[in-house]
Protein backbone atom coordinates (compact mmCIF):
# COMPACT_ATOMS: atom_id res chain seq x y z
CA UNK A 1 0.00 0.00 0.00
CA UNK A 2 1.38 3.37 -0.92
CA UNK A 3 0.62 6.72 0.66
CA UNK A 4 -1.93 7.60 -2.04
CA UNK A 5 -4.04 4.57 -1.10
CA UNK A 6 -3.81 5.48 2.58
CA UNK A 7 -4.80 9.08 1.88
CA UNK A 8 -7.77 7.92 -0.18
CA UNK A 9 -8.90 5.50 2.55
CA UNK A 10 -8.61 8.21 5.20
CA UNK A 11 -10.58 10.60 3.02
CA UNK A 12 -13.37 8.09 2.52
CA UNK A 13 -13.47 7.26 6.23
CA UNK A 14 -13.70 10.95 7.14
CA UNK A 15 -16.45 11.51 4.58
CA UNK A 16 -18.47 8.64 6.04
CA UNK A 17 -17.91 10.00 9.54
CA UNK A 18 -19.05 13.49 8.53
CA UNK A 19 -22.17 12.14 6.83
CA UNK A 20 -23.17 10.01 9.82
CA UNK A 21 -22.59 12.85 12.29
CA UNK A 22 -24.70 15.11 10.07
CA UNK A 23 -27.51 12.54 9.99
CA UNK A 24 -27.47 12.12 13.78
CA UNK A 25 -27.58 15.88 14.32
CA UNK A 26 -30.36 16.25 11.74
CA UNK A 27 -32.54 13.62 13.41
CA UNK A 28 -31.82 15.15 16.83
CA UNK A 29 -32.82 18.61 15.60
CA UNK A 30 -35.99 17.37 13.93
CA UNK A 31 -36.92 15.53 17.11
CA UNK A 32 -36.59 18.73 19.13
CA UNK A 33 -38.85 20.61 16.70
CA UNK A 34 -41.46 17.88 16.39
CA UNK A 35 -41.57 16.65 20.01
CA UNK A 36 -40.66 19.44 22.45
CA UNK A 37 -42.01 17.32 25.32
CA UNK A 38 -39.30 14.76 24.62
CA UNK A 39 -36.67 17.51 24.70
CA UNK A 40 -38.03 18.64 28.08
CA UNK A 41 -37.77 15.09 29.43
CA UNK A 42 -34.16 14.85 28.22
CA UNK A 43 -33.29 18.08 30.03
CA UNK A 44 -35.01 16.77 33.14
CA UNK A 45 -33.25 13.41 33.09
CA UNK A 46 -29.72 14.38 32.06
CA UNK A 47 -29.40 18.00 33.24
CA UNK A 48 -31.69 17.80 36.30
CA UNK A 49 -33.73 20.79 35.09
CA UNK A 50 -37.22 19.99 36.29
CA UNK A 51 -40.29 21.94 35.28
CA UNK A 52 -39.29 22.63 31.70
CA UNK A 53 -42.45 21.97 29.78
CA UNK A 54 -42.91 21.92 26.05
CA UNK A 55 -43.84 25.61 26.11
CA UNK A 56 -40.45 26.55 27.57
CA UNK A 57 -38.60 24.45 25.00
CA UNK A 58 -40.69 25.94 22.21
CA UNK A 59 -40.16 29.53 23.39
CA UNK A 60 -36.41 28.93 23.79
CA UNK A 61 -36.32 27.62 20.26
CA UNK A 62 -38.23 30.65 18.95
CA UNK A 63 -35.95 33.09 20.79
CA UNK A 64 -32.87 31.32 19.45
CA UNK A 65 -34.11 31.57 15.86
CA UNK A 66 -34.78 35.32 16.08
Pair 17, 39 in one domain: no
Pair 28, 17 in one domain: yes
Pair 29, 40 in one domain: no
Pair 53, 64 in one domain: yes
Pair 40, 55 in one domain: yes
**Which residues form the domain of 43?**
35-66
Assessment of whether the complete model's pTM goes beyond 0.75: no
Could you give the C-alpha distances from 48 to 7, 37, 43, in angstroms and in order? Answer: 45, 15, 6
For residues 44 and 1, what is the distance between their CA atoms, to the nearest angstrom? 51
Pair 43, 26 in one domain: no
Pair 4, 19 in one domain: yes
In a structure prediction context, what are the per-residue pLDDT tens digits for the chain, which is 66 residues long? 577 688 889 999 999 999 999 999 999 889 888 888 888 888 888 888 777 766 676 676 555 555
Domain count, the chain: 2
Amino acid sequence: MNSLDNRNRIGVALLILRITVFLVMLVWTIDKFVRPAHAASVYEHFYFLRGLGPAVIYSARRNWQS
